[in-house]
Amino acid sequence: MASNFNKITVSDGARTELHDALGLTGAEVSINILPAGAGVPFVHSHKQNEEIYGILEGKGKAEIDGETVALATGDWLRIAPSAKRRFFASEHEAIKYICIQVKTNSLENYTAADAIIE
């Protein structure tokens, strides 16, 4: 009998991508940790995927299309595919965040509209 779910435990590594680990078919999800004073070593954008970032712990900043956005625990941020982005931890505190990557305009139903109540 095939299982309808997958479960993993995520350690505190610098980056954990869940696509392969969970067999995801509609999104890419990663958990990321930048130590105090560190930054992602590259600027990037996407062809068709928007990204949703959730700050799980700590403080830092994002540079998005030349604008600096302060980030702290509890903040959530959506970034359009074409935006050029880069993330940094604060000088004195690490930052841990989740990144959810999905194809722009692919969401057709959500929450109750997609539920089957049995």
Contact call for residues 87 and 39 (beta carbons, < 8 A) = yes
Contact call for residues 50 and 104 (beta carbons, < 8 A) = yes
For residue 49, the model assigns a pLDDT of: 96
Contact call for residues 71 and 4 (beta carbons, < 8 A) = no
Instruction: Give the domains, in start order, of the chain with CATH numbers.
Output: 22-99 (2.60.120.10)
For residue 2, the model assigns a pLDDT of: 62
Task: List per-block mean pLDDT (blocks of 10 residues) for the chain, which spans 118 residues.
Answer: 80 85 91 96 96 98 98 98 98 97 90 85
28 CB-near residues (< 8 Å, 6+ apart) = 17, 18, 19, 49, 99, 100, 101, 102
Q: How far apart are the C-alpha atoms of 83 and 49, rounded to whole Å?
A: 11
Tracing tokens 């604060």 back to the chain, one arrives at 90
